[in-house]
Amino acid sequence: MTPENLAKHRADPNIAFWRNLKEGTDILDVAGLEPRVGVSGRRYAFSADDPSVAQAVAAKLAKDEQKIASLIGRGTKAIRLVYDDGGSHPSFRNAVVAGRPGLGEVSRPGALALGPREIVVPETAGPALAFTSSGSQAAGSSRPALAGKPPFSQRLFGNLFGGAAAGQL
């Protein structure tokens, strides 16, 4: 959840989901404590009990957002990761490349050895989502669904949070 990765993956169709998770990791990074987690408005809601932690997290968010804007301004390209092997776990890929016996037949071991490739995504693929200091999505920065499909996170989790009362998990 680094500014560098958020700048590079800003055109990802699930960037709003990743930025929402970043709210929780920021609390963990700043305080060294697990945040309190709930659900509100079909999003995770993270909080810390200590107001000084909330101030430090807000300062970190502002600093990270400035760094993201700076990276984009200096020409950091939006990318996607492409896996020739379908995205195997690195431990499996390493075992196949090392020739570990007992893994079964692997149809294209050369594809496993490649690992992910970064491809540059045209800026028209989607805008970077801007967030306010409170962590909410800024007005006018929503991303259209791709080809009429809901975002991947919504397809994956469905209505998981739809029935939960705010603040419950």
The reported pLDDT for the residue numbered 151 is 54
The reported pLDDT for the residue numbered 45 is 95
The reported pLDDT for the residue numbered 99 is 78
pLDDT in tens, 39-84: 999 999 999 889 999 999 999 999 999 999 999 999 999 998 877 6
Q: Give the list of residues 6+ apart from residue 33 with CB closer than 8 angstroms, or none.
A: 27, 48, 53
Three-class SS state of 166: coil
Instruction: Kindly state the DSSP code that residue 147 receives in the 8-state scheme.
Output: G
The reported pLDDT for the residue numbered 139 is 39
The reported pLDDT for the residue numbered 112 is 66
Tell me the average confidence (pLDDT) per consecutive run of 10 residues in the chain, 169 residues long. 94 93 95 93 92 94 96 95 71 77 72 75 59 39 43 53 45
The reported pLDDT for the residue numbered 158 is 55
DSSP string, 71-88: HHHTTPPPEEEEETTS--
pTM score, two decimals? 0.59
Q: What token pair was written down for 162?
A: 């739809």
- Residue 58 CB-density burial (10 A; 0-12 exposed, 13-18 middle, 19+ buried): middle
